[in-house]
Amino acid sequence: MQKCKQLYEGKAKKVFLTEEPDVLIVSYKDDATAFNGQKKGTIVGKGAINNRMTNFLFQKMEEKGVSTHFIQELNDRETAVRRVEIVPLEVIVRNVAAGSFSKRLGVEEGKELAEPTIEFSYKNDALEDPLINSYFAKALELATSEEIETIKRYAFMVNDILKAEFLKAGLRLIDFKIEFGRYHGKIILADEISPDTCRLWDVESGDKMDKDRFRRDLGNVEEAYIEVARRLGLEI
Ligand code: UDP
């Protein structure tokens, strides 16, 4: 599989065309941003960790019946994926109150929710990814009713699978963000699942083991990413 022209460069990844029209190569960067790009930095080794971790978790998803864009890991930071049309929704699932949920609703960080929640943000940097609901998504033709139903069903399946995987690694899954794409008319899981996109707290100590260490200047950012990878049994 050969990289051709660069198609896109995002905050954490570059995407390349290949000789196959249906296949892209994703290249994970060490760059980190937060607060809609206002805070910038580097997390050394993050690209390789997020690549390996996403691929490991996406293969778990496939085993449990959630289709993904994963095709093949090419090297430590590059992976071949199916070319999808990204549904412009950030899909956030929460098990425990934290971050914007705690702030918006005045709920203490760390409060276990009575049941998992799902929310949608409209993927639009200029508007700072505003929170919307499924009616907005349909009215703005971001997704159809049927697609939204599939996305919800997959999102809660992903939550169950991730919660179990991370718990085996001594990590509590607080919340996460996922994205979906359209591939030949079907909804499949795309983008990434990593400490950039999940909140993970150590089961014993409650220590944050995710991008909040970068967002909140908690230190030991690289070490936390390496530790999560190590606990999942990944070779980095
Ligand atoms: N998240 C993400 N990308 C975003 C916004 C959120 O990956 O652009 C993840 C974030 O890491 C957390 C979850 O989604 O695991 C919920 O984030 P929240 O809405 O609380 O926003 P934040 O507090 O990160 O601004």
Residue nearest to atom 2 of ligand 1 (CA): 197
Residue 120 beta carbon below 6 angstroms from any ligand 1 atom: no
Residue 195 reports pLDDT greater than 90: yes
Residue nearest to atom 19 of ligand 1 (CA): 100
pTM recorded for the entire structure: 0.97
Calpha distance 62→64 (Å, rounded): 5
- Give tens-digit pLDDT for 24-71: 999 999 999 999 999 999 999 999 999 999 999 999 999 999 999 999
Residue 198 beta carbon below 6 angstroms from any ligand 1 atom: yes
Which residue out of 13, 92, 121 has the highest number of ligand 1 atoms within 8 Å of its CB and is therefore the one to mutate?
A: 92
Taken as a whole, the chain contains a residue count of 236
Which atom of ligand 1 lies at the shortest distance from residue 211's CA?
11
Give the domains, in start order, of the chain with CATH numbers: 6-82 (3.30.200.20), 85-220 (3.30.470.20)
Q: Round to the nearest angstrom and report the end-to-end CA distance of the chain.
A: 22
Task: Write down the residue that tokens 């090297």 correspond to.
Answer: 75
